[in-house]
Structures are given as C-alpha cells and as structure tokens.
Amino acid sequence: MTGIIRSTSPGGLFDKNTFHCVGMNASLDGKNTRSTVCEGIDADGDKRLSYFSLGSDGKIIRENITGTGKYEGMVATGTVQPLGPFPVVKAGTFQDCNHQTGTYKLK
C-alpha cells in the first residue's frame, strides 16, 4: 500500500508525508489478527517507521518504532479509524482512507 498523509491543520505533523506499507491480515479459529509496518517520509527526507496492530477491542493501534532526522527519538501512539470500504478501482487492489488520532513527543 502507498499513499499520502494530510494533517487536520495544514502544515501540521506528517502533513503531505508519503508512505508505503506491508502487512498481513489473518483469521484463525475465529480470531482476527492484523499487523502492518509503514515507512513514512517527509519533504526534508526524514523518515519514520510505524507499526499498526489490531487490538483486543477491535481498534487499530499505531506505534512509532524508529525515525531519522526530526523523528529520531520520537514517541508516538494512537488509534486508526478506517473510513471505507471504498469501491475497488482495479482487481487485486484496495482503497481506503484512515482517520488517525493520538499523541506524539519529539526528542
């Protein structure tokens, strides 16, 4: 998955960052699991690696793993609310839009 991030406030944290992700969803014995890792990059070339997982309450949880430049040492957590589903544009792909909320602290 690839995409772009828009901040609620123009110019806010992560605004106009691009990202790419790889992940896996599974349903085993009636239990759903989901884990995704995403690398985001901003206009300055600073990067961050985030981990997304499905919590026991069914909410998607976001954690910051590591970063470079201004994101080095950043602590961030939050939740994700998918706004889809949306129509499939091309077979074998999916489209979605997520609303993310949370907290962060830069080094």
pTM of the model: 0.84
pLDDT digits (tens, 9 = 90+) for 19-78: 999 999 888 898 888 899 999 999 999 999 999 998 888 889 999 999 999 999 999 999
What pLDDT shows up at residue 70?
A: 96
Please tell me the distance from the alpha carbon of residue 95 to that of residue 101, in angstroms, as a whole number: 20
Please tell me the distance from the alpha carbon of residue 41 to that of residue 96, in angstroms, as a whole number: 20
Phi then psi dihedrals of residue 70, to 5 deg: -65, -20
3-state secondary structure 8-68: CCCCCCCCCCEEEEEEEEEEECCEEEEEEEEEEECCCCCEEEEEEEECCCCCEEEEEEEEC
pLDDT of residue 92 exceeding 90: no
- Would you state the structure tokens that stand for residue 24, as one six-digit string? 């896996």
Local structure of residue 92 (DSSP, 8 states):
T
